[in-house]
């Protein structure tokens, strides 16, 4: 319970081709050599950042959810990434947190990217998902959410002696373009420092169907803001083990989280 091993998959997604992406990602997962516990895929990993949900949406019993259940079970991993989901005649950019036993949680993207008119095609989420694995708590978010620190803000439940931070790591999955990569890298570092947690950002690489280039720049950052992993411009599958003992030591020596402002998110 003192460690958590995570594999990040920085991949060039095949534009709006679900079957090709599932085949490609299945091969990458099968070729992971290290023993891992959580595998993280990019945002909209079956299509790329498509604004055509009416063509590509599935329901929660669809082919991609079945694929995630099978892959998670076969490899004994938690598998996460977002897909286009239709529910009650609405479309969502939905992150799935799939467990090996077939149970799952999900998070609908809260902040929809107006520059791409995402809000005209998808519905907003209204609640966070903080998942638990091996005693680690992980706050799961999507791409543009990174620009809104209140949505990620760490806050103790109370100020009693036994109070503890809400979570230990932030995961952001993304289709974040290269032209704003400086913001991506800077904000991931800021989220780690201000929340005294690990921050994991998993982005795609390559050109999408709109000829927008993505440089990846997937990152793992420790609670002091130091880079533990960084890869740009190429496809890469990387496995890293996070240390709970080091995290708790930092929070003990520098208990800044205890001084956080209290607020409630509706």
What is the Cα 84 distance to its own chain's centre? 15
CA pair distance 106, 108, nearest whole angstrom:
7
**Per-residue model confidence (pLDDT) at position 43:** 98
**Per-residue model confidence (pLDDT) at position 170:** 98
Contact 11, 204 (CB under 8 A): yes
CATH of the domain at 197: 3.60.110.10
CA pair distance 99, 18, nearest whole angstrom:
21
Residue 43 has which token pair?
């945002």
**Per-residue model confidence (pLDDT) at position 154:** 87
Given a cut of 70, whether residue 41 has pLDDT beyond it is yes
Residue 137 has which token pair?
């708590």
**Per-residue model confidence (pLDDT) at position 155:** 72
* Domain assignment of residue 42, yes or no: yes
**Per-residue model confidence (pLDDT) at position 4:** 98
* Domain assignment of residue 211, yes or no: yes
Residue 199 has which token pair?
């921050």
What domain range includes position 119? 3-259
**Per-residue model confidence (pLDDT) at position 156:** 64
* Domain assignment of residue 40, yes or no: yes
Which of 109, 178, 189, 197 is catalytic? The answer is: 109
> Is 18 labeled as catalytic in the residue annotation?
no
CA pair distance 106, 140, nearest whole angstrom:
9
Mean pLDDT for 240-253 is 95
Task: Measure the CA angle with vertex 103, ends 76 and 216; round to 5°.
Answer: 65
| DSSP 8-state assignment for residue 157 | S
Contact 192, 221 (CB under 8 A): yes
* Domain assignment of residue 137, yes or no: yes
Which of 37, 43, 118, 178 is catalytic? The answer is: 43
**Per-residue model confidence (pLDDT) at position 160:** 61
Residue 32 has which token pair?
């992971």
CA pair distance 204, 159, nearest whole angstrom:
40
* Domain assignment of residue 264, yes or no: no
* Domain assignment of residue 132, yes or no: yes
Instruction: Find tokens 């992150």 and name the residue.
Output: 95
**Per-residue model confidence (pLDDT) at position 161:** 58
What share of the chain has pLDDT > 70, as a percent? 97
> 233-242, pLDDT tens digit by residue?
999 999 999 9
Given a cut of 90, whether residue 177 has pLDDT beyond it is yes
* Domain assignment of residue 265, yes or no: no
The confidence band for 266, taking pLDDT boundaries of 50, 70 and 90, is low
**Size of the chain, expressed as the number of residues it contains:** 266
> Is 74 labeled as catalytic in the residue annotation?
no
Residue 104 has which token pair?
């799952």
The confidence band for 105, taking pLDDT boundaries of 50, 70 and 90, is very high
**Per-residue model confidence (pLDDT) at position 229:** 98
CA pair distance 217, 143, nearest whole angstrom:
13
- The domain total for the chain is 1
Given a cut of 70, whether residue 162 has pLDDT beyond it is no
69 against 166, higher pLDDT: 69
**Per-residue model confidence (pLDDT) at position 157:** 58
* Domain assignment of residue 266, yes or no: no
Mean pLDDT for 34-59 is 98
Which of 143, 178, 185, 189 is catalytic? The answer is: 143
> Is 179 labeled as catalytic in the residue annotation?
no
Q: 207, 199, 200: which is closest to 233 by C-alpha?
A: 207
């Amino acid at each position: 319970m003192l460690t958590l091993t995570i594999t990040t998959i920085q991949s060039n997604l095949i534009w709006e081709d679900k079957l090709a992406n599932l085949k490609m990602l299945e091969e990458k997962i099968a070729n992971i050599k290290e023993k891992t516990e959580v595998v993280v895929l990019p945002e909209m990993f079956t299509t790329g950042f498509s604004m055509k949900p009416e063509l590509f949406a599935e329901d929660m019993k669809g082919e991609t959810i079945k694929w995630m259940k099978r892959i998670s079970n076969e490899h004994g991993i938690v598998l996460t990434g977002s897909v286009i989901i239709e529910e009650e005649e609405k479309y969502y950019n939905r992150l799935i947190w799939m467990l090996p036993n077939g149970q799952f949680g999900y998070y609908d993207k809260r902040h929809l990217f107006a520059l791409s008119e995402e809000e005209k095609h998808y519905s907003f989420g209204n609640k966070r998902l903080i998942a638990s694995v091996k005693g680690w708590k992980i706050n799961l978010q999507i791409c543009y959410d990174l620009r809104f620190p209140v949505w990620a803000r760490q806050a103790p439940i109370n100020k009693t002696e036994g109070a503890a931070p809400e979570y230990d790591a932030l995961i952001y999955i993304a289709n974040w373009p290269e032209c704003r990569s400086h913001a991506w890298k800077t904000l991931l570092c800021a989220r780690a420092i201000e929340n005294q947690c690990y921050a994991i950002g998993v982005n795609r690489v390559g050109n999408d169907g709109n000829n927008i280039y993505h440089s990846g720049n997937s990152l793992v950052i420790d609670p002091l803001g130091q880079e533990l992993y960084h890869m740009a411009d190429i496809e890469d599958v990387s496995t890293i083990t996070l240390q709970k003992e080091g995290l708790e030591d930092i929070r003990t020596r520098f208990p800044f989280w205890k001084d956080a402002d209290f607020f409630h998110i509706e």
